[in-house]
A = this chain, B = another copy of it.
Amino acid sequence: MFWLNGALLAGPTASFDLTDRGLLLGDGVFDTSLVLNGRMVFAERHFERLFAALALLDIAADPSAIRQAAEALSAGAERAVLRITVTRGPGPRGLKAPSPQRPTILAACSPLPETLFFSPLSLDVSAIRRNETSPLSQLKTLGYLDAILAYREAAARGHDEALFLNTKGHVACAATGNIFAVFGSEIVTPPLSDGILPGIIRGFFLDESYRVHLKAVEASLDPDDLMAADCVFVTNSLRLIAPVTRIGAAVLASRADEPMAALKVLLWQSIAREARLDGF
Contact = CB atoms under 8 A, between A and B. Distances in A.
Interface in A1-58: 2, 4, 9, 12-20, 22-27, 30, 57-58
A91 to B, nearest CB: 10
A129 B23 contact: no
A141 B145 contact: yes
A176 B95 contact: yes
B167 A149 contact: no
Contacts of A176: 95
B16 A148 contact: no
B25 A23 contact: no
Contacts of A96: 151, 155
A151 B96 CA distance: 7
A108 interface: yes
Contacts of A85: 23-24
A25 B145 contact: yes
A133 B57 CA distance: 25
A14 B12 contact: no
Contacts of A146: 134, 136
Given A97-B148, A148-B95, A155-B96, A135 B143 contact: no
A20 B106 CA distance: 12
A134 B142 CA distance: 17
A279 interface: no
Interface string A66-103: 00000000000000010101010010110111000000
B13 A145 contact: no
B18 A4 contact: yes
A69 to B, nearest CB: 12
Nearest to A144: B25
Q: Sorted from nearest, which 7 A-B pairs have the closest CB atoms? A: A143-B143, A16-B16, A131-B131, A129-B133, A25-B144, A26-B26, A167-B167
16 contacts: A4-B18, A12-B18, A12-B19, A12-B90, A14-B16, A14-B18, A16-B18, A83-B93, A95-B151, A96-B155, A129-B167, A131-B167, A133-B167, A136-B146, A142-B143, A143-B143
Given A13-B15, A128-B135, 19 more contacts: A4-B18, A12-B90, A18-B106, A23-B23, A23-B87, A23-B142, A24-B30, A24-B142, A25-B148, A26-B143, A26-B144, A57-B145, A81-B93, A93-B110, A128-B133, A131-B131, A135-B149, A142-B142, A143-B145
Interface of A: 2, 4, 9, 12-20, 22-27, 30, 57-58, 81, 83, 85, 87, 90, 92-93, 95-97, 106, 108, 110, 127-129, 131, 133-136, 141-149, 151-152, 155, 167, 175-176
